[in-house]
Structure 1
């Protein structure tokens, strides 16, 4: 009996220690790279796929380098690509998101509150639902359910041994979409951190769509138990995306000035941008629905 008791406490202690090893990070700087291929011959006004991804209305692609600064209630994402530079600053305490864009010699931006984003999502959901009803299928507007399939395969990314998982979702036509995810179970971010570091596309969509589905509308990322270090997306319409973290600094010293809104930008409230973003989310769709 004593031996059984000793074994029980040894096993219990080992289990508790194992769970305790996953660290919840309070501060981090995450660098990554993203490559996107847009569908060929896609209609500019065509519906998006099951994850909400579309192209720019023509063939092509883009690459970007992204840096996420995370400190408590503040998150900043900076992305550099051929299409310009994008900065997203999220102030969770004051519930405000500021999106800044530098492109073609112009510095523009908009800010939004949680109420603005909720209203935007409601309008977009209403539009999707209307399209579903027109197709005599009101379930078209529902997000696909995600199933996580774990794998024993591992690989090193930015110094971390990462596990492989496959996210499966079913399309309206019954086809199965798969997204390959590589993640480290060593640490995770607290609730409210943009999924996958919001590194795909530099976080443009955070001010427009929230983070319910993760970077680029990838369903199921919130079910991954750890920090996503990379993912590979391929869709039947030709859309492809690969994101991989290149460097991670945990608990670094981050100056508060990093999160200050830079000068020189023409920044407007989101409600004044409805002409660009409110009519069926066209601008968002044309941006790949980040």
Structure 2
């Protein structure tokens, strides 16, 4: 009888061990967390990049894109002060040039993404009759939205146009400075200014303003939006893959939709 109890006990232990092993085999392997790419991008690219994000994350579910939008000069300063960033997309080459001199970007990854035009927008119901940049010097134009030239590329390009036309001294005191192009667009939308100088790709995102003039050819440096992976990027491979996507056929198609001119890789 005692022997029978021992055999029964051993069989019970065997069953428990087998069941435990079986349960272990059904355990789900832990899900890998997506690689998170932090992208500091010029405000002028916002709408196009948000559109691209939806497509890219659906195509590559192992990647999560986190954007930080602001004026290019502000983003440059953040990077210089140690902000954790994987990719920087600027609205002008100047900011990347300065970061490259400080070895803060990986120059081998640098690319020219897109080009654009500089335009004047006015409130939809404006009746000032503005048709050119020269018209900004008219007496009935009281306030002009202009990006701070020191930190906002659209403002720097705008100042170049006004100086080229010889009217900068006449209009500079009319300028209402904005921290980025979206702010300048909002000024015009709300009627806080008579006109704002912005990128055309930003202007077309609003149905509350109308474009009345394009900057004359040769009146400013070419408008180029470049990008690069940061030298200390936490996700350098994933970041470079995304940057290549932006300049590839799929990314370029979205930029065209928003009025940009794709430029491809920097030579």
- TM interval, short-chain normalised: under 0.3
Larger Rg: 2
Structure number having the greater strand percentage: 1
Structure number having the greater helix percentage: 2
TM-score under structure 2 length normalisation: 0.26
TM-score under structure 1 length normalisation: 0.25
